[in-house]
Structure 1
Amino acid sequence: MTEGENRPARVAANAIAGGHFRYYDFVMAAFVAIILLSNVLGAGKFAQVWLPVWNVYWPFGAGILFFPISYVIGDVLTEVYGYARARRVIWVGTVAVLFMAFMSWVVVKLPPAADWKNQPAYEAIFGQVPRIVFASVCAFWAGEFVNSYVLARMKLWTGGKMLWTRTIGSTIFGEGVDSLIFYPLAFLPIPFLGWEGWPVSLVIQVLFTQWALKVAWEVILTPVTYVVVGFLKRREGVDVFDTDTDFTPFATRV
Structure 2
Amino acid sequence: MSGGRMQAVEGEALRGAHFRYFDFVMAAFVTILLLSNVLGAGKRAEIDLPLIGLWPFGAGILFFPLSYVLGDVLTEVYGYARARRCIWAGFVATLFMAAMSWVVVALPPASDWPGQGAYESVFGQVPRIVFASVVAFWLGEFANSYVLARMKLATEGRHLWMRTIGSTIVGQGLDSLVFYPLAFYGAPGWPVEAMLWVMVSQFALKVSWEVLLTPVTYAVVGFLKRREGVDVYDSGTDFSPFRAAV
TM range (shorter): over 0.9
The answer to whether the aligner puts 1:165 opposite 2:157 as a matched pair is no
The answer to whether the aligner puts 1:219 opposite 2:214 as a matched pair is no
Shift of 1:129: 4.9
Shift of 1:212: 0.6
One-letter amino acid matched to 1:242: D
Question: Do the aligned residues in 2 keep the contact of 1:188 with 1:197 (CA within 8 Å)?
Answer: no
One-letter amino acid matched to 1:121: A
Deviations 1:88-137 (A, max 9, x none): 00000000000001001100111111111111111111213543322111
Q: 2:149 is matched with which residue?
A: 152
Distance in structure 1 (CA, Å) of the matches to 2:208 and 2:188: 31
Q: 2:28 is matched with which residue?
A: 30
Q: 1:97 is matched with which residue?
A: 94
DSSP 3-state at the match of 1:48: strand
Shift of 1:6: 4.2
Q: How does 1:208-247 map to 2 (within 5 A)?
A: 208-247=200-239
The answer to whether the aligner puts 1:181 opposite 2:184 as a matched pair is no
Q: 1:204 aligns with which of 193, 196, 203?
A: 196
Unaligned segments of structure 1, at least 5 residues:
190-194
Q: How does 1:68-79 map to 2 (within 5 A)?
A: 68-79=65-76
The answer to whether the aligner puts 1:8 opposite 2:1 as a matched pair is no
Shift of 1:201: 3.8
- Number of residues of Structure 1 aligned to a counterpart in Structure 2: 245
Shift of 1:47: 2.0
Distance in structure 2 (CA, Å) of the matches to 1:198 and 1:118: 25
DSSP 3-state at the match of 1:111: coil
The answer to whether the aligner puts 1:108 opposite 2:105 as a matched pair is yes
% identical aligned pairs: 71
TM-score by length of 1: 0.92
Question: Do the aligned residues in 2 keep the contact of 1:13 with 1:242 (CA within 8 Å)?
Answer: yes
Question: Do the aligned residues in 1 keep the contact of 2:80 with 2:237 (CA within 8 Å)?
Answer: yes
Deviates further, 220-229 or 175-184: 175-184
Q: 2:42 is matched with which residue?
A: 44
Deviations 1:50-84 (A, max 9, x none): 21223x33221110000000000000000000000
Distance in structure 2 (CA, Å) of the matches to 1:75 and 1:146: 11
Unaligned segments of structure 2, at least 5 residues:
none
One-letter amino acid matched to 2:84: R
Question: Do the aligned residues in 1 keep the contact of 2:87 with 2:138 (CA within 8 Å)?
Answer: yes
